[in-house]
Amino acid sequence: MTDLLTLTGLTKAYPGVVANDDVSLSIKPGEVHALLGENGAGKSTLVKMIYGLVKPDAGQMQFRGQPFTPAEPRAARAAGVAMVFQHFSLFEALDVAENIALGMENPPKMRDLAAKITDVSNAYGLPLDPSRLVGDLSAGERQRVEIIRCLLQNPKLLIMDEPTSVLTPQEVEILFKTLEKLRSEGTSILYISHKLEEIRRLCDAATILRLGKNVATCNPRQETARAMAEMMVGEVLHVPERTPHRATEVALELRGLSINAPSAFGTSLKDVTVTLHRGEVLGIGGVAGNGQDELTAVLSGELPAAAGHVFFKDRDVGPLGPNARRQIGLLAAPEERLGHAAAPDMSLTENAALTGTIRKSLVNNGFLNWGLAQKFATDVIKDFDVRTPGAHTAARALSGGNLQKFVIGREILQRPEVLVVNQPTWGVDAAAAAAIRQALLDLAAEGAGIIVISQDLDELMEISDRFAALNEGRLTAPVPAVGLTVDQIGLMMGGAHDLEPANA
């Protein structure tokens, strides 16, 4: 059988960076093909070229045996390529059918369209009521709107960009059933992800990109996740070592903490109660947007709580601001690196002073001691293997992984008694992620209590002593992480709302 899509020597350069360098791959009809790579490896650029959003500088594409040069997404769709983006483009004030009609060239009458939507959603096990407002839908349901929008075009090739990042395990299960059904009908799928276990389960072939180059093509079912990760990073991975935790004294306690979201789009925390012991790693999972940012802000002191809800070693610290909490040893590292955990245009020295002034005594009578701040920054760079020319470099010049190592390292070197980190390895390459996890475990082994808020369940299972999940601002009771099954985790995260597997 001839290949559905063949890419030969595709090259695309942006100023200062070659996003794709001589990339070739081919996708067979009815194949689920994984596109693997770290953030910045060039996955997005490659699919944007296939979808007509970006024009390649060099190389050829062939689709169904014909030369394929889509000038715009419309041309790509007409040829039979559809794409589900990681970030949805839906209007919240419109209902499902209206949203789908907006994306069509010649939308049929609304009643016919609604019937078609119901047909497709039943056929592929993606229940969706065409008359519901998109604003009321969960992230998983919104993704279904996007998928059905694509399926209505009868695509030959469906591109999915990290589809599972917004889903609970149960929802992932449903999605995979749908994709398997599509495959059995002969539709090819280009599946972008960096979740290796998923790819090993679902995909027939994988193309691995590193720094814009095609480094390997393999059959993911015959490779271990670790081998693929090493192909992605190009080096041997170090797996964190775990020392089991024994219950000790309480380091931090939340008692019935409720707090209104500071913004209209935030999630209010509802009656959060949890205890963190010294030397313990508490993992907090959940689908994004269920109160993770608010919980981080309450713990860091950016969002002060009323008295009587947050206790640090039996001391009520709820109303204290960030610096008062640093004073007593309660430190945090927020999710967003650029602009929140670090100031993008400031040097690493200045960013070291951003949180380090108190515990590192960088201030004397209100005057900053820049010499000490630079030494602190240099220590972080050295101890955490931050790859940068030096402490004078602006934060924004660092890659995501290096800046994350700096941000986490900056807090760890301040010897916290309790450290709260939100998405410590988000968008970080596998080697740096392993180093960060090991550093957190080392800190716990020295007696600090650590709260890791993350959407990466593999990460949480790897480093947590106990696991809890956030669901619409509520925190489940923590349970020991050892022996927890994916099903149990999914139920804790809120399970699957009105989902059923595809009728295979």
Distance, CA of 49 to CA of 31 (rounded, Å): 20
Which stretch of DSSP H or E encloses residue 452? strand 449-453
Question: What torsion, rounded to 10 degrees, do the Cα atoms 82, 83, 89, 95 define?
Answer: 50
Total residue count of the chain as it appears in this document: 504
The two three-digit tokens of residue 485, written as one number: 């099954």
Tell me the closest approach of the beta carbon of residue 321 to other proteins, in angstroms: 6
Phi-psi label, residue 85: left if phi above 0, alpha if psi -120 to 50, beta otherwise: beta
| 247: Cα within 13 Å, side-chain hemisphere | 3
Q: How far is residue 272's CA from residue 290's CA, in Å, rounded to a whole number?
A: 13
Q: Residue 454 and residue 194: Cα distance in Å, rounded?
A: 15
Q: What are the phi and psi torsion angles at 14 (to 5°)?
A: -105, 160
Query: Per-residue b/e over 334-364, b at no fewer than 16 CB within 10 Å?
Result: bbebeebbbeeeebbbbbbbbbbbbbbebee
Amino acid 47 reads V
Instruction: Tell the smallest beta-carbon distance from residue 362 to other proteins (Å).
Output: 9
Within 216-329, residue ranges assigned H as helices are 225-233, 292-300, 322-328
List interacting residues with other proteins (CB under 8 A). 11, 13, 15-18, 57-58, 300-302, 321-324, 326, 332, 334, 336, 339-346, 350, 353-355, 357, 363, 366-368, 370, 393-394, 396-397
Instruction: Tell me the closest approach of the beta carbon of residue 426 to other proteins, in angstroms.
Output: 16
Report the half-sphere exposure of 448 (CA within 13 A, side-chain side).
Answer: 25
Helix axes 139-151, 110-123, angle to 10 degrees: 110
CA distance 66 to 109: 34
Residue 360: both structure tokens together = 């590192």
